[in-house]
Structures are given as C-alpha cells and as structure tokens.
A and B are shown apart, each in its own frame.
Chain A
Amino acid sequence: MNALAESFATALALIVGFDDRLLSVILLSLQVSLGAVICASLIGFPIGALVAVGDFPGRRLATVTLNALIGLPAVVVGLLVYLMLSRSGPFGSLGLLFTPTAMVIAQTVLIAPLVAALARQVIEDAWREYHEQLVSLGASRSRASLTLMWDTRFSLATVVLVGFGRAVAEVGTVMIVGGNIAGVTRTMTTTIALETSKGDLPLAMALGIVLVAVVFLMNGLAYLMREWSMRHYG
C-alpha cells in the first residue's frame, strides 16, 4: 500500500511541475480525440437525423444496428483500420499507418456509431414533439432534420462530450494503428499501458489522474450546459 501512496505523490509532483513528457502526451491525446469527435459528429449527426426522421424500409434495423455498433471493441476497430492502412492493404499507398492521422481515423470509426445512435435518440425525441407542427408549416423531412439538429444543439453538444470522453479514454485503436511511437503517436492511454508494463507507476499514475480529470471535466461541462440551456431556452 505504501508503494501506491508513493506513486500517487510522485504523480502529483509531475503534474504540478508540468513535466515535459506529460504535456506532449496530453496534448496529442486531446488533439487526436478532438479531431476524431469532430469528424465523427460530422458523419454521425446526419446519419442519426436520417434514421430518426426518415421513413424508409429498414429504419428499425438501422436503429438496432447503430445501437449494436456502440459495443464495437476498440481492439477490433484498431485491427480493421490497421489492415486497411497497412502497406499490404487497400489504402497502404496513403502512408498513413503509425501517424496521428491514422489514430484520428480509427477513433472516428470507433465513436461515430456512438455519436450517431445518441443523436438519433435525441432527434427522434424532438421529432415526436415537433413533427405535427413542422409538417403543418410545410417542412420537408430533410428540412425538418436540419431544423431539429439546430434545435437540439445543446443535447447534441452533450453527445459530442460523451463521444470525446469515450475517445480520449480508449487505448485499443490508437495502440494498434499508432504504434505507440515515442514523441509521435504516444497518447495518455498508450503511455499508461507502456509505463505500467515497465513497472514505472508514477508516470502512469500521473497520466491516469489527468485522464480521469479530463473525463470528469467533460461530464461536468455536459451537466452545466444542460442546466444553462434549460434555463435560457426551455
């Protein structure tokens, strides 16, 4: 137990001292996951809106599929993207393997279903409330989805935060497609994995603390945003 407390203390010292390695690794994590959640939202929101508002055969199958894809194991996604981007794979000539771009792509694939499924739920609930009025006013389905996406913007912002939290905390995809290269593709989670396996707990723990803090922050922001929007917009 003493070793634990010792690691904890050293970890805090690293954080407070703005250790260089710590900062570069944190920055990369945030960049990759932010890029991924933006791409995932740009893809996922329209898909979610389409399934929520649309009237096509297989709509219910699409809903179930989206929900099921949330549970995609990160390592499986990592493996799939690796095979795609490998030089022996279909997109090898892009030379993207072992770069931060590959990590963004892999995380986008991982969290796009989550973002789409949650967006679908949000927009479908709003559609239930609004659809008679919107149809009465003459909105087509595509117009209605755009209107609903804007109207539910605060809930959708919460979805973005949830997606970001999931991305920044995962290790399976970024480890495989990034290769955990020092100074290039090493993120908070891959560093924790590496340092733990080396038995070097203080750095791993410091990053663990930062990671948990980031996730807490995301959830706090989501909560505050919900409160604020309820008060101001109803």
Chain B
Amino acid sequence: MADSMVDSIFPLAMEGVSVARNGQRIIENMNLRLNGDARTVILGANGAGKSVTMRVLHGLIKPTAGRVTWAGQDERPTSQAMVFQKPVMLRTSALRNVAYGLKLAGVTQAERLTRARAALARVGLAHLEKRAARVLSGGEQQRLALARAWALEPRVLFLDEPTASLDPSAAREIENIIAEIAAAGAKIVMTTHSLGQAQRLADEIVFLHLGRVVEQTPAAEFFGQPRSPEAAAFIKGELPWV
C-alpha cells in the first residue's frame, strides 16, 4: 500500500478556491492543506460547504476561482476513490460492481475477479457476490461501495457522510471498515454529521463555517479545547443551522 512519509501526490491543497452556484457563494476563498497520513474529518453545520469542498478536492467540481494542487502540481492523480452518502450500484451482481471499477482502471479480466473477490471478503460480503447489488440492504450496499473503492487500492479515499442513511449497527460496521482501510495506508478525507463518529475516527478536524475554513486542529484538541467560538458553539450543539 502507499507509503506515508515520502509521498509524491501530497500535500493535497486548495488555494484560494471559491465555488459559486446561481450567484450564491458556497465556498469563499478557501485555503486548505492536507498531508498524506492523518485521517481528516471535515465538520460543519448544514450548508457550511462540506459536500462541495469534498467534491472540489476529489475533482468532481471545478472551482469558479482558485485551484486544487497535488504536491504543487495541477495534474489530478487517478489513485483516488469516493464513497457517497447513498451508494450507487449498477444493475448487476455485487462482484461485477466491484470488478467494474477495476475494469475502468485497466486491470485485466483474470486479475479483476481475484481482486474483487478479495475486496468483498474484506468487507464480509463474499457470500453475496452473486446477489444483485441493488437488492442488498442499505448497509450491505454501503459496504459494497467500500469494497469497490478499496479494490482500487486508492491513495486517498473520500467519504461524504457515508453512514448518514444507516442504522447504528450498520454504521459501526462501516466505521470499522474505514479504520481498516486507513490502517492499510490510505489517506481518509471524510465528512460527517455525527460528532461521536468524528471522535472515533478522526486524527484531525477541519471545521467549516459559511464556506470558510475556520479551524484545522488535531482531533483530541478540537473536542477538548476548540480554538474558535464557532467550533465551540457547534460542539455544544448551539450553532444555528444556516
């Protein structure tokens, strides 16, 4: 898996990024630097710009101003994957859904199935490999989405509120898998609504408020002693929903 210290694609940086939609500024002149080892969780109230920030980092949205760089370069590396809040599966078996991502990455047919099966086994879905992916339960589909991402052996894994639609026990399963993927060496960038989840998973917190980065703090510090009044209010649950 990827090495953590000398990494050719980090730091992942946003330089003066703004994103506007329909005349509304969603992200305002954002600067951010993420290195390759910490598990980063992005927090913020609804409308703070978390989802858009994730998509800009991953390359799904082009900023209206500013740029995203990887180790100072504009070129976007292919070794990244994203898991969305609602898993999106093709009308085919679980195995083939995982293999599809590998096919796009140019992996040969034989190797595809081997790696896909291994990924399914790691998330505990090996027994469902032939089942139609879209008839699986919400939790199973999200695990499948993680298997699909993991099979690609990405250097960075983005996750946009991956457990928001799941019940607590399914959510816990997902958290465990995320932790395993991180342990295997991938950089995690995640958003969540759940402070508990953030506490369990994060090494560092990036706190957004009204489209700006207000704090970037190691997790333990953030929850114990937040540096900004907005963050303090958020943790106490007092932050007004925008």
Contacts and interface: CB of A to CB of B under 8 A. Distances in A.
A154 B92 CA distance: 12
Contacts of B148: 137
A234 interface: yes
Interface in B84-139: 84, 88-92, 100-101, 104-105, 132-135
Given A135-B60, A233-B135, A151 B104 contact: no
A129 to B, nearest CB: 6
Contact of A136 (B60, B89, B92): B60
A232 B91 CA distance: 9
A136 B91 contact: no
B78 interface: yes
A137 B81 contact: yes
B48 interface: no
Output the residue of B55, B81, B84, B90 with the most chain A CB within 10 A.
Answer: B90
A151 B100 CA distance: 12
Nearest to B160: A132
A199 interface: no
Interface string A173-206: 0000000000000000000000000000000000
B58 A233 contact: no
B206 interface: no
B146 interface: no
Contact of B134 (A133, A153, A234): A234
12 contacts: A132-B84, A133-B82, A135-B60, A136-B81, A138-B105, A147-B90, A153-B91, A154-B91, A233-B91, A233-B135, A234-B91, A234-B134
